Structure 1
């Protein structure tokens, strides 16, 4: 590992994207891919290049969201509204709902909240890696 660390420090972006594509598509022979490949690659490159200080900086960018309460409300309400509209449209066009999956009623809220923070589901895996690591690294030089 020590032999590769200086190279990773000087070639962060190349290391990140090479590792991202390798991890994300390594399961292709098994008929799937690893959606968290970008997050794992970012964590590995940051750990090698910057250590704990880099990981703390990434975490600070993840949890910082300086916007008004209206945007917090929108971030929560829009996915719930889209789910509700999708269910309503499905019923309207003749789909038979299986109401058993919505018992108890608050399970919809739990499912939506879980999808928003599930690292295997996209946003939590992609945003910290591409926008939290790759974009600031590229913008620091360009």
Structure 2
């Protein structure tokens, strides 16, 4: 059976398989070649982060003929979501981190000074780098652009979020064993809890913006960027500020799960005329 036939039979399973195979292969090879080829090792780390989006493109191109890929990309790139949602996506993560930092300081803790916090130019330059290389572009077309609509079509938005969250978290697992990654100093349990909570918040936002992946890109970029201004990620032996971040994210997720009316949400159907069913 050809790859196209396998993907047409089980597109969601195929997406997950391609995502993990590509990313984990890149991340496994990178540390092994770093002593001899550091530039290639760095390139492989970035390439691995694009696994979800690349896998989604392959699956959509294989399962939706006659312009299906173009139509899918057009829906994903819908940017007219309203200034309120742009503001929400960019500033809510900052508010979460400021609140967490404030609680940490109120209990006698300290946070370091970020290199970007005092340099406006560095802060501005960091934004496109985070968007292009820090995860959002490489991930969101896959997680929220492809997998989420398929899961929601079967399970509803709450269950889909709670299924996709752990998968999203486990995908990061090799990064915990690679020096220099953001995950290297983060306790796995806290990270997994944060990702499941964020999955709910991401779904809530995407469903309130007509299925726009741009909204997810903005939120993901903000989550990755603001710690360069408000340093709340763990350093060796200091987890309290990050634990506050996770706690606030869990609270936001619980509010979204408990207070959102299913009928008030837009839910982009996974199945279009050119097809996207299967496992």
The bucket for the TM-score relative to the shorter chain is 0.5 to 0.7
Per-residue CA deviation, residues 33-86 of structure 1 (Å, 9 max, x unaligned), is 51111111111111222246222122122222453312223334456778999x
* Distance in 2, Cα, partners of 1:59 & 1:80: 29
Q: How does 1:62-141 map to 2 (within 5 A)?
A: 62-78=76-92, 105-115=120-130, 117-118=131-132, 120-138=133-151, 139=153, 140=271
Deviations 1:95-116 (A, max 9, x none): 8868x8789733312212431x
Aligned Cα RMSD in Å?
3.6
Equivalent pairs counted in the alignment come to 137
Q: Identify which of 47, 60, 84 aligns with 2:61.
A: 47
Q: Which runs of 5+ in 1 are unaligned?
A: none
In structure 2, relative to structure 1, the CA distance for the partners of 1:5 and 1:101 (3 Å cut) is closer
SS at match of 1:106: helix
Change (3 A) 1:125 1:59: same
Q: Which residue of 2 aligns with 1:13?
A: 12
Contact 1:42–1:133 at 8 Å: present in 2 too? yes
Give the Cα separation in 1 of the matches to 2:123 and 2:21.
35
Unpaired stretches in structure 2, ≥5 consecutive residues: 32-43, 154-270, 272-276
Structure 2 vs 1, CA of residues 82 and 105 (structure 1 numbering), >3 Å: closer, same or farther? farther
**Contact 2:52–2:138, Cα closer than 8 Å, also in 1:** yes
Q: Is the CA contact 1:19–1:41 (under 8 Å) kept in the aligned structure 2?
A: yes
| Residue 30 (structure 1) aligns with | 30
On the 8 A contact 1:80/1:112 being kept in 2, the answer is no
Which residue number corresponds to residue 3 of structure 2? 4
